Amino acid sequence: MNDMMDGTGDSTVITVISGVSRGMLFNDDACLVVVYGEEVGRRLPMGRQETVIGRSRECDIQLRNDSASRRHASVFISPDGYMVRDLGSTNGTAVNDQPVTESLLADGDELRLGRTVMRFLCGKGIEGKYQDLLVDVAREDGLTGAAKQAVFNQCLDDECARARRYNRGVSVAVLELRNFDDYVDRVGRIWADLRLRKVSRVLSRTLRTNDLLARVGESRFALLLPETGPEDARVCLERLFEDVRIALDEQPVIGGVTSAMGKSCVSLSIMGAADEALRQARTTEAGISFIAVT
């Protein structure tokens, strides 16, 4: 077992499982790997003609997640390959974010049962694929695909050191989904998770190659904008806000942005200013606030 940092900065236990599990013979041709939920990194071998997955102890694979039904779904072998079938679950089954009752599974597909997100691996080189996926799991939030906070912190330290050395600028924006707890109470955790995923993907599409998006809280993201001054950072944030508004047909995001130059580029100072800018943004109509670090 290895300790990793999750998207909120807390410790996540990654469990590596191989060999025989609950009486099933390990099949190195296909497996599921948990990338978000309980037991991140858990490897679930598809060692039977049909493998039933759910919350019940009677299932071939038990999920420790209240959002999963007692008998949620099954993965089985058909003449066309591996398939997944929903077993009348309450919160549904989705493949690559598309709700399904029955669907073929291809190598690399994402399978979501309630709030548990898994990756399906099959074919040759599966051990290498699994090890590569564990590296991704350690660096990326399994729900949103954004970087984890530990990765963001290290990259911010590196960029600040570079900015001090070459007298360049660094900007950071902290974004938050407005009234997220109320939204969860109104629509439930499943739909709230989907909103976080959608916001993350919209933000990722707009960013430059060297920019970094990270999930740093339940409903909070941070953007690292290297070699970016205050005006460019403000324009970037306004563009991101507009993209989110168009994608969701509303504007649930507020944000604070801060910039520093040269010797003033210190990680703690920048993040403190960004957090303060976010607090100010909560009181503005536009939902955006800017603070410069001097």
Do 65 and 192 have their domain in common? Answer: no
Domain edge (last residue) among 111, 139, 167? 139
pLDDT for res 22: 34
Asked, for residue 19, whether it belongs to a domain, the answer is no
Total domains in the fold of the chain = 2
pLDDT for res 12: 53
Asked, for residue 24, whether it belongs to a domain, the answer is no
Asked, for residue 14, whether it belongs to a domain, the answer is no
Domain edge (last residue) among 82, 106, 139? 139
Residues of the chain with pLDDT under 50: 7, 16-27
Residue 65 in contact with residue 88, Cβ under 8 Å?
no
pLDDT for res 21: 36
Do 41 and 80 have their domain in common? Answer: yes
Do 154 and 264 have their domain in common? Answer: yes
Residue range of the domain that includes 114: 30-139
| CATH classification of the domain holding 42 | 2.60.200.20
Distance CA 216, CA 287 (A): 19
pLDDT for res 251: 81
Domain edge (last residue) among 86, 117, 139? 139
Please give the structure tokens belonging to residue 88.
């009348």
Q: Of all helices (H) and strands (E), which one includes residue 80?
A: none
Do 284 and 153 have their domain in common? Answer: yes
Does residue 60 sit in helix, strand or coil? coil
pLDDT for res 198: 94
Asked, for residue 22, whether it belongs to a domain, the answer is no
| CATH classification of the domain holding 233 | 3.30.70.270
Asked, for residue 4, whether it belongs to a domain, the answer is no
Do 183 and 133 have their domain in common? Answer: no
pTM, entire model:
0.83
Q: How many residues does the chain have?
A: 294
pLDDT for res 260: 95
Asked, for residue 219, whether it belongs to a domain, the answer is yes
Do 266 and 159 have their domain in common? Answer: yes
Asked, for residue 6, whether it belongs to a domain, the answer is no
pLDDT for res 285: 83
Do 240 and 167 have their domain in common? Answer: yes
Encode 93-121: b = buried (16+ Cβ within 10 Å), e = exposed: bbbeeeebeebebebebbbbbbbbbbbbb
Name the β-bridge partners of 260. Answer: 170
